[in-house]
Amino acid sequence: MKYEALPRTGQESAMSDRRGAHAVLAFAMVAGAAWLLAAPLAASLVVGVGAAFFTWIAGAASGEPAALVPAPVVDLPDRTQEVIDAVDDALLIIERQRITYANHAARRLFGAERVEGDYRLALRHPVAADLIASDRETGDPVEIAGLGDADRRWVMSVRHVEGGAKLVTLRDRTDSWIAERMRVDFVANASHELRTPLATILGFIETLNEGRAVEDTAIRQRFLGIMMGEAKRMQQLVDDLISLSRIEADRFSVPQTPLALGPVIEEVAGVIRSGLREGGDRIELAIESAPEVRADRVQIGQLLHNLIGNAIKYGRPATPIRVALDQAQGRVRLRITDQGEGISPEHLPRLTERFYRVDAGRSRSVGGTGLGLAIVKHIAERHRATLDIESKVGVGTTVTVTFPVISRESLS
C-alpha cells in the first residue's frame, strides 16, 4: 500500500521557538555576573536618583564592599550568546525533555536538525538518557563512548539551572583516550615482538639439549645459525626501542651543530654498500650542493640507514635506489626513491606508527622491527624537518625529508 504525501498547512514550527532558552541562558550568566554589575550600577544611581535610594540598592544587591569590585571591561550580558557559542565544549540546555539551546560545538556534534526537539533524538546513549531523565546532578563527569562517531569518547556532566532546566556539558576526550590506548598497544606490541624470537631460541636450546642433534654437526650449525639470527633480531629491536626513547626524550632540544648532509649520505651509502652481499651498486647518489643544516650527525645517519634500508627491502630486486639531495624553496631536500610495489593510500597516514605493518607476513620475511619509520619521524621532528611519503602502487615510493636551513642571524 502506498500513501501520497499531503501538503501540510504552513504553520509556525513549534520547535523553533527559542526565546525560552535565551531567557534561561541569560539568567544563568546574569546570576553569576550580578554582583559584578551591582557596583557601577549603584554608582550611576548616586548621581541620578539620590543618596537614600543608593543605600537601599547597595544594601539589597551587593553584600561585598563596593571598593573591591572591579568595573567590568565588557558589557557581559549583551555578549552572553557569543561567549557561550564560542565555548569548545558542547553545551545543551534541556527543558522538559526538549533541547532549548545548543551552542556551536553541540550543533557541530549532533547536526543542526537533531538539536531541535527532544533530547533523546540527539543523545541516544543509555547512560546519558538515564542521567538526564533522573533528577540527579552528576557529581564527577560521566564517561560516554561513541556520541556522534563510534570511536569518540566524551565526558558528560549535568547541572541544574534555576527554573527546572538542565545544562548538559560534553567534553571531547577522544585524544587522551587514543593516547592511552596507544600506550597500551605499544607495550603489548613490544612484548609480543620480543617474545616471538625468544620462543624460537628457547625451542632450539631445548632441542640441542636433548643430545642427538648435537652429534650431527650440520644440524647443530643450522640450529645455532637460526638462534643467532633470532637473537640478533631481539638485539635490533631493543636497540631501536632504546634509540626511540632517547630521541623522544630530547625532542625539544633542537640540534645545534651545523652539518653538511652530502658527506653523511656518502658515508652511510658506503657502509650499506659494503654490507650488502649483492646489489650494492643499486644505490645511486645525486648530491647537489646544499647549505649546511643544524643536525645531529648520529641521528641523521640513523635516518638515512632506515630509509635506504627500507628502499632496499621493499624495492624490486636489481632496481636502482635513488638518494638525492638538493635545495627547494630555500630548504634542504633529501629524497629517497625506490621502484617497488608501492604502498596503497589507506596505509600512508599510519606508516609512522610504531609496529604498524602494511603486510605483516611479508615484513616478517624481510626482517625489520616495525620501528624504522617511527624513528625516522621522531628524528625529523627533532630537526624541525618535514617528512613526506609519496607512493604509487606498482611504481614505487619516494620519501622526502625537508630540513630548514640555518638562518643568517643565528649564525652570527
Partner 1 sequence: MATGHTVKAFDEDLGQLRALISEMGGRAEAAITGALEALVNRDLESAARIVEGDRKIDELEAEVERQVVRLIALRAPMADDLREVLAALKIAGVVERMGDYAKNIAKRISLLQETRGMEALAVLPPMGKIATEMVRNVLDAFVLRDAEAAVAVAARDKAVDDFYNSLFRTLLTYMMENPHNITASTHLLFIAKNIERIGDHATNVAEMVYFAATGKQMAERTKGEDSLAGDR
C-alpha cell at 409: 642571524
CA distances from 171 to 6, 111, 176, 206, 210 (A): 42, 16, 12, 55, 62
Does position 180 interact with partner 1 (CB under 8 A)? The reply is no
Q: What angle do CA 73, 77, 81 make, to 5 degrees?
A: 115
At which residue does the C-alpha cell 542521567 appear? 131
Under the binding rule (CB under 8 A), the answer on residue 360 touching partner 1 is: no
Sheet holding 153-161, edge to edge: 117-118, 98-102, 90-95, 165-172, 153-161, 142-145
Check residue 120 for interaction with partner 1 (CB under 8 A): yes
Q: Does 104 bind partner 1 (CB under 8 A)?
A: no
381 binds partner 1 (CB under 8 A): no
Q: Residue 361, interface with partner 1 (CB under 8 A)?
A: no
Residue 79 per-residue DSSP state = H
Interface residues for partner 1 in 136-175 (CB under 8 A)? 145-146, 150
C-alpha pair distances (Å), 63 with each of 29, 39, 55, 328? 19, 10, 12, 67
C-alpha cell read off for 377: 619521524
**Residue 188 makes contact with partner 1 by CB under 8 A:** no
Cα dihedral across residues 83, 85, 88, 92: positive or negative:
positive
Under the binding rule (CB under 8 A), the answer on residue 126 touching partner 1 is: yes
Q: How far apart are CA 171 and CA 177, in angstroms?
A: 12
Q: Which is nearer to partner 1, 122 or 376 (CB)?
A: 122
Report the residue from 66, 87, 121, 224 that binds partner 1 according to the rule CB under 8 A.
121
199 is a site residue for partner 1 (CB under 8 A):
no
Sign of CA dihedral 153, 157, 163, 164: positive
The window from 3-11, 270-278, 346-354, 362-370 that contacts partner 1 (CB under 8 A) reads 3-11
Nearest approach, Cβ of residue 90 and partner 1 (Å) = 17
19 binds partner 1 (CB under 8 A): no
Q: How far apart are CB 361 and partner 1 at their closest, in Å? A: 16
Burial of 308 (0-12, 13-18, 19+ CB in 10 A): buried
**5 binding partner 1? (CB under 8 A):** yes
**Binds partner 1 (CB under 8 A): choice among 10, 65, 211, 394:** 10
Residue 329 interacts with partner 1 (CB under 8 A)? no
Cβ-based nearer residue to partner 1, 116 or 240 = 116
Question: Residues 307, 310, 313, CA angle at the centre, nearest 5°?
Answer: 155
Q: Between residues 129 and 286, which has the closer beta carbon with respect to partner 1?
A: 129
- The answer to whether 50 contacts partner 1 (rule: CB under 8 A) is no
Binding residues for partner 1, rule: CB under 8 A, are 2-6, 8-15, 97, 111, 113-114, 116-127, 129, 145-146, 150
